[in-house]
Amino acid sequence: MYTPDHFSIKRREALHTIIQTNPLGALVTMTPGGLDANHIPFELDPDRDVLTAHVARANPVWQQCKDGAQVLVIFRGSASYISPNWYPSKHETHRQVPTWNYEVVHAHGVLKVQDEERFVRGVVARLTRIHEASEPKPWKMSDSAPEYIDGMLKAIVGIEVAITRLEGKSKLSQNREDRDRLNAANVLASQGKDELAEAMRSAK
């Protein structure tokens, strides 16, 4: 990924935050038919540097990629088009062009298939707890009949990605004047894009 130094995310905690806030990753793999991508919600274990997830048993990705295969998982954070009209300096110099601001993390790693019921059950249980936490009455696996859950678990396969390298890019108009960056952030906030607006306000 092309990443000028002023857009590079260097803090490990910031990289982890983007992954955990935007857990739907694009798993990019090399298959006999060429490059493939599957969009999968991942759980990050920051202490082990491991991503865990599950895929449908009918999805050929877990058979096409043998243990030890090199993979890439892309996590995209907030993003938006940026109009040059939002930069005060544009109206003075007319020397600005449109761009796109975004945050993204690329997790490079090694894939391992985990086709054991205990592993898959643990992945599903943890993902459920994380994503149901904000519900008034969080759904849990025990809400369904055990035989139904058992059948659903047999239809999926677990995977792990041992992270070997993380790279992140935070393109937030850091290369513009402060007044341009902050005014563009205000416009985004007025459009309801608060997450990206706040990131731009905090950018150095």
Say if 93 falls within a structural domain: no
Contacts of 141 (CB under 8 A, 6+ apart): 121, 124, 125, 128, 149
31: domain range?
5-77+102-174
Query: What is the per-residue pLDDT across 42-54, written as a single tens digit (0 to 9) for each?
Result: 999 999 999 999 9
Say if 199 falls within a structural domain: no
Q: How many domains does the chain have?
A: 1
Say if 188 falls within a structural domain: no
| Per-residue model confidence (pLDDT) at position 93 | 83
0.85 surpassed by pTM: yes
Instruction: Kindly report the CATH number assigned to the domain that includes residue 164.
Output: 2.30.110.10
| Per-residue model confidence (pLDDT) at position 32 | 86
| Per-residue model confidence (pLDDT) at position 95 | 80
Residues facing residue 167 across a β-bridge = 106
For tokens 């043998």, the residue is: 66
Say if 97 falls within a structural domain: no
| Per-residue model confidence (pLDDT) at position 92 | 86
Say if 90 falls within a structural domain: no
In the chain, which residues have pLDDT < 50? none
